[in-house]
Amino acid sequence: MLLFKNNWLVTTFILLFTANIAYGDELEYQNRGDRWEGIKAKPVSGKDIELLSALAYHGEKWQTIPSQCKLKFYLPNQKDVKLKVQELKPKYYYWLDQVIPKPRSWQSGFNEFQWATKDVIKPLKLDITKLGVVVSLGKSAKYERVAPAVFYHSELPKKIKGYLFHFKVCESSKLKYSIYKAGKKLLTKNLGKRFPGKPFGIFWDSSKAEEGEYELRVQGYFLDNFVPFQHSSILFRHKVIR
């Protein structure tokens, strides 16, 4: 584990150093008015499994690099939101968070946020389809509550096909996931073996689902000792985007 951390630190330093040589300090993680965005060294996660993205999936194609990235998400009531955008598989350790909403607070109902790609995304030539978004509404020891976001660049997609979640594990594991509604299990599927450094996705087709709150639960065990890890429970609301 120590060797892994050292290699990660060396790789991160090289990427940050190379980016600074090519573009200067303007790409470093910094205050950009309504958000903080840029290249940011991210520490190694101590979690068994970590949520990287929670999206309302529309399947529409992106322009190569549009002028704006846009998000839309639903809140059942007004509350604090922690919104972050990151690379699913880090190359530059792109990071966006500390978003200031307009108006100055997130509202009950549908909320929107957009930001220009010219500051960081375009100079780095990031593949936007490989960015993850998490709109977190709070965490506890048992679960994390999120608002799945529609991530798009032009017109709001007319149809949502389902929900796409991305995770990563800290050690080689064998996994399965289940979807629940009101404590009732709706489905269970095996994910097979998953390995560090290789984020994986879970797609749930919501086309026949009723609106309401659902739970995604990921469970499994480590391959080296068969010890179960602390499972990840994600609570989210299925809501038709309007």
177 contact partners, CB below 8 Å, separation of at least 6: 188, 189, 191, 202, 216, 217, 218, 219
Residue 241, pLDDT score: 77
Residue 45, pLDDT score: 65
More confident residue, 48 or 230: 48
Share of the chain above pLDDT 90, in %: 73
pLDDT in tens, 81-124: 999 999 999 999 999 999 999 887 899 999 999 999 999 999 99
41 pLDDT tier (thresholds 50, 70, 90):
confident
pLDDT over 50 (residue 8) = no
Residue 230, pLDDT score: 80
Residue 236, pLDDT score: 97
Whole-number average pLDDT of the chain:
89
Query: Taking residues 188-200, what's their average pLDDT?
Result: 96
Task: Supply φ then ψ for residue 132, to 5 degrees.
Answer: -110, 150
pLDDT over 60 (residue 159) = yes
Query: Taking residues 133-147, what's their average pLDDT?
Result: 93
9 pLDDT tier (thresholds 50, 70, 90):
very low
Q: Which of 157, 174, 105, 166 is nearest to 132 (CA)?
A: 166
DSSP per residue, the chain: -HHHHHHHHHHHHHHHHHHHHHH-GGGBSEE-SSSEEEE-PPPPP-SSEEEEEEEEE--PPPPSS-SEEEEEEEESS----EEEEEESS-SS-EEEE----SSSS--SEEEEEEEESTTTHHHHT--GGGEEEEEEEEE-SS-EEE-PBEEESSSPPS---EEEEEEEESS-EEEEEEEEETTEEEEEEEEEEE-TT--EEEEEE-TTPPSEEEEEEEEEEETTT-PBPPPEEEEEEE----
pLDDT in tens, 47-87: 789 999 999 999 999 988 999 999 999 998 878 899 999 99
Taking the mean position of all CA atoms in its chain, how far away is CA 84? 7
Ranges 33-42, 114-123, 232-241, most confident: 114-123
Task: Supply φ then ψ for residue 43, to 5 degrees.
Answer: -70, 155
CA distances for 142 relative to 17, 80, 122, 134, angstroms: 39, 19, 38, 18
Which letter, b or e, does each residue of 101-132 get, where b requires 16 or more Cβ atoms within 10 Å of its Cβ?
Answer: eeeeebeeeebebebebebbbeebebebeebb
